[in-house]
Structure 1
Amino acid sequence: MEILKTLIRAVPARKLKTLRLPHAPLPGESSSKLYDLYSGISTGRFDDDGSAAQSLYGTTKPGNKFSKLKYDLRAQLLRLLPFVMLEKPELPKPYPAIYQCYAEWTAIRLLYTLGTTQAAVKLLKKLLRKAEQYELYEIVIGGYRLLRAYHGNTTGSQSSLKDIEQKLIQSLSLQAADMAAESAYYHLISHYVQDKSTKVFIAQQAAEALEKLKPQVPGSPSNNFFFKYKMIELIHHMSLYHYKEAISICEEADCFFRGKPFFYTQHLVIFQYQWIVSSIQLGQFDQARQIVRASLSILRKGSFNWYKAKKLEAQVALYENDYLRAYQITVQVARRKQKPEGHPVLHEEWILIEAYMKLLAMAGLIQLPQGQPRLRPFRLQRFMNEFTIFSQDKRGMNIPVLAAQILFLISKSDFGQAIDRFGAIEKYAYRHLKAEELTRSRVFFRTLSQLADAGFAVEKAKELRQEFLLNLSAQPQAPKNYHIEIIPYEDLWPLLSILLEQARKAKRNTANL
């Protein structure tokens, strides 16, 4: 059902009327049940197989007929999808041209198979010029192999065969370089998908990968090779906290891509993302804001990268103490009906940011103008059950989740439960926060534990604040991890103090009633 939902969103009803294709009947033209299934899913009436089967066949147990109906609808939508995608005005360059190349390549192979070789070869020569321009090596290599077969079987032209052989060798070499860089890059970034903790060991792996790739660096690298190679360089420097060097790489990448006849938007945006992160780490917030604006200007609203850019925009505002702006950005994202699918980590990141926004609002640090939209009501129990991935990331994103839970318990005057949790938190810190790059988090939880030992007394929080800030400043080798520190610890302790004072005051007022 999830695949059908995705396809139906990609092929909306308004597009069906404009696409009258032979041998691809539209839902409703050959089967009323086919249309009913399409309509039910698109309008939200059918949320799962059971509700659809009940409406269409009078049973909640989907059988063979229902399975075939789903298969038929999926097959028709898949046939329509390429035509819809080519017409989408919001599709970023160069994707329309690239998809057109693949469509032409499919048509040419069909023509060649049918025996209309002359027409196929003429079309293929034109296509190869475009495919080489867009560095589509699958088409380029496949196309030259087809030409080689044509000249070998039909014309016998030795000069053509020699020329094709040289171009094939060159294309295969470029593709091999791309594949090697791609393999090294994905092996490195896979370590960060569900674990956001800093990994110093990655620096050595990145350095080794770069050394292996150096002999394969082409004189004129493809977009794909340059992206992967420079990202490996970036990973190397970011793992060692070399943020100035990271910014230099991002600037180089920006110049490279903008100087090319075409580039992939996501390549540019990913470097901009790391540029923003490095600027945040260096406290260069003006530059971070400028790069965020540049990214958002080229991203489609609601896309995965748009959500990531908005997250960084909110985080820049948080690090600048512009809490109202951060809240407004979070509300803008939360109110969007269409969420990024298949990205549970990003989903959990936004839940966490919402929680910190709620804490800031509860502390009175965000004054919303009258009539401004607000975030959904917060429920602590729901929040504690939201993090299926982050709860496993013990040296990464589980840290801000735990910090937020403690702050919420304090805000609700639930000091008993907060104190009870510290036995487990102390064991957690001992097991998982030993690494040098987690020193700041270790200092935060150690100080928080001292406050818990004092029964969360307001005066103790004030007393510990100066000691806490001194301990943080004594850790220059452990810079802020923007993933973990949604709000920098230097600002998180004052927030905690405000929430604690409010909670104690509320408890006194209740006792006096």
Structure 2
Amino acid sequence: MEELRELVKIVTNRAQKKIAFLEWDAEKKLSKDMELFYGIQQGKFTSDEQAAIHLYNSTPDQASYKMAKSRLRKKLLNHLFFLDFNNRSKISHKYEQECLNLLHQARMLINLGEYKTSERLLNKLLKISFEAEFTYITVSSLEVLLGIYAQVGKSYLFYKSKELLLHYRNILKFEQEAEDYYNTARLELSKSIQARKEFLPKLVPILERLHKLWKQSHSFNNFHYYYKLKIFFYDMVGQPTEIIHITSESDQLFENGKINPMRFDHRFNKFMNVHAYLRSKEYEKGLYFAREYLQAFDPSSNNWFAFMENYFLLALHAREYTLALQIIQQTDENPFFSKIGRMAKERWVLYRSYLYFVHPSETLYSDFTYQTLINSVPEYGKDKQGFNVAILILQYLYFLKKNDLESLLHRIEAMRKYAGTHLKDNFSDRAKAFFKLLMIPIKEDFKPMYCRKKGKYLYEKLQVITPPGEAYAEIEIIPYEHIWEMILDIMMATKHQLQKNMG
């Protein structure tokens, strides 16, 4: 009770006169800042101009609107202390946030001269921090605890904690080095294709150093940096079987108690496992694991939609078009689809357009999205990197099927320009070989038998060219070999139709 009385006294005497929180009572008349909150939440306000006109019939630079924005910002920041980390977040976030809250509370109490309660909070914190291997929090907590022990004269506990602090500072030093390598590598791997290509050889010694740091420190953080960067490396260089090995090995380490269960992200491991089966063309295994793992992803998260992309592509590559349609329908029915980013939405438009072409369905067709995609010439910007070839190919297929030769010739010219500018290195061998195949129908006057004969060498070459890694890859929404078979079928169907019309 003494501790409780002290806390009540502190809150009573020291609390802000008016704590700004969001008010959820719908029966009360809304304040302007809460009107702004609901307007943004419900999508009514997408710009300052809209909100200012609605709330004050003014422009965004007016003081009244600025004040409403400021009040709402304070309320939202206050609510950060009361967020729920139990469901959608990584399991580690829940424990990390609990530690940070306890550390914050302990520091506040020390500033108010309350050492006894602060010490109790810090010891509770350290129990979680030790178990979850939050080294940076452990170091900060021990430093604060040493200050308390020095202040109240607890000599034995001071020196015992100091010894612990020196141990964890040493681990933290290893982790900081590893973190620096990891962040630098992630930055370089997010740049242009050419920049990635130049950086990849430098990643080999970095991985060797990370592995050494992990073995020296036995720290989860250093395992994490090594594990993730190794997966990214093999993904970039196009060695998916290595990724399958890493994910399986990580599961084994976890089962053997070698990886911290409070920190290991099973979802990422599952995601990369399924992605690797797609890249290695082991479609049946990939589909099996995709079905098994789907329930691990929260449908309200971006991770769910990213996982569904791999699931969809596996179905499409395996020619399981009915399953691919079911996946599209699941995605469409997810109420959180509107929350995902613009680029992700554009990818789903492209996916459904491809599926519509190979497996027409009324539920797939959207006149606006499909026709817009077909009639537009891709913008070769960084934001569409990896999908420019896919868009050009879809346009080619569409105009070939319509027998619109004039439009088809325009797309062929666009392909020539794109290949000349963007497909210069050997990492584009599959795309270059396929582009050459796409030129054959033009040269052979769309005669399917001649095209099959002339394209045999390139078709066989496609089957032995190893797909490039993510560092260089243009996404094959449908494998190029399958598309060439479709092209031959389209030309044969067109030929039969012409003969029927003439006969």
Q: TM-score, normalised by structure 2?
A: 0.83
Moved more, 114-123 or 407-416: 407-416
Alignment pair present for 1:164 and 2:154: no
Give the letter for the 1:181 counterpart. Answer: A
Aligned equivalent of 2:41: 42
Quote the offset at 1:114 in angstroms: 1.0
Quote the offset at 1:208 in angstroms: 1.3
Task: Give 1:296's match in structure 2, choosing from 294, 297, 302.
Answer: 294
Aligned equivalent of 2:398: 408
Aligned equivalent of 2:268: 270
Deviations 1:223-275 (A, max 9, x none): 3321220223334444444433332211111223453452446x333333332
Give the letter for the 1:484 counterpart. Answer: I
Aligned equivalent of 2:57: 58
- Structure 1: 5+ residue stretches without partners: 1-20, 363-367
Residues 96-111 of structure 1: matches in 2 within 5 Å? 96-111=94-109
How many Å separate the matches in 1 of 2:419 and 2:79?
Answer: 54
Aligned equivalent of 1:23: 19
How many Å separate the matches in 1 of 2:42 and 2:304?
Answer: 26
How many Å separate the matches in 1 of 2:158 and 2:226?
Answer: 33
Moved more, 491-500 or 449-458: 449-458
Quote the offset at 1:478 in angstroms: 6.1
Aligned equivalent of 1:328: 326
Quote the offset at 1:344 in angstroms: 4.6
Aligned equivalent of 1:381: 372
How many Å separate the matches in 2 of 1:26 and 1:275?
Answer: 42
Quote the offset at 1:92 in angstroms: 5.2
How many Å separate the matches in 2 of 1:32 and 1:199?
Answer: 51
Find the residue that maps to 1:173 and give its secondary structure. helix
Distance 1:237-1:48 versus aligned 2 partners, 3 A rule: closer
Q: Is the 8 A contact 2:378 2:392 kept in 1?
A: no
Alignment pair present for 1:232 and 2:229: yes
Find the residue that maps to 2:228 and give its secondary structure. helix
Q: Is the 8 A contact 1:353 1:486 kept in 2?
A: yes
Deviations 1:79-137 (A, max 9, x none): 12432425x65555343333222222211111111111121112111111112212223
Task: Give 1:487's match in structure 2, choosing from 462, 475, 478.
Answer: 478
Residues 402-481 of structure 1: matches in 2 within 5 Å? 402-475=392-465
Quote the offset at 1:161 in angstroms: 3.3
Deviations 1:488-509 (A, max 9, x none): 1110112233445566778999
Q: Is the 8 A contact 2:278 2:286 kept in 1?
A: yes
Distance 1:385-1:75 versus aligned 2 partners, 3 A rule: farther
Aligned equivalent of 1:71: 70
Aligned equivalent of 1:121: 119
How many Å separate the matches in 2 of 1:494 and 1:325?
Answer: 21
Quote the offset at 1:74 in angstroms: 2.3
Distance 1:257-1:69 versus aligned 2 partners, 3 A rule: farther
Q: Is the 8 A contact 2:389 2:474 kept in 1?
A: no
Quote the offset at 1:37 in angstroms: 2.2
Quote the offset at 1:67 in angstroms: 1.7
Distance 1:435-1:298 versus aligned 2 partners, 3 A rule: same
**Number of aligned pairs?**
479
Q: Is the 8 A contact 1:237 1:245 kept in 2?
A: yes
Distance 1:214-1:320 versus aligned 2 partners, 3 A rule: closer
Percent of paired sites with the same residue: 21
Aligned equivalent of 1:243: 240
Aligned equivalent of 1:398: 388
Quote the offset at 1:345 in angstroms: 4.3
Quote the offset at 1:357 in angstroms: 1.2
Aligned equivalent of 1:16: none
Deviations 1:299-326 (A, max 9, x none): 1113121111111111111121111211
Alignment pair present for 1:173 and 2:170: yes
Over the aligned positions, Cα root-mean-square deviation in angstroms equals 3.5
How many Å separate the matches in 1 of 2:499 and 2:189?
Answer: 46
Give the letter for the 2:150 counterpart. Answer: G
Residues 181-260 of structure 1: matches in 2 within 5 Å? 181-193=178-190, 201-219=198-216, 221-258=218-255, 259=257, 260=259
Distance 1:340-1:248 versus aligned 2 partners, 3 A rule: farther
Residues 85-104 of structure 1: matches in 2 within 5 Å? 85-86=84-85, 89-91=87-89, 93-104=91-102
Give the letter for the 1:422 counterpart. Answer: I
Q: Is the 8 A contact 2:207 2:230 kept in 1?
A: yes
Distance 1:136-1:79 versus aligned 2 partners, 3 A rule: same
Find the residue that maps to 2:91 and give its secondary structure. coil
Q: Is the 8 A contact 1:415 1:456 kept in 2?
A: no
Q: Is the 8 A contact 2:387 2:475 kept in 1?
A: yes
How many Å separate the matches in 2 of 1:454 and 1:496?
Answer: 13
Q: Is the 8 A contact 2:433 2:458 kept in 1?
A: yes
Quote the offset at 1:23 in angstroms: 1.6
Q: Is the 8 A contact 1:410 1:418 kept in 2?
A: yes
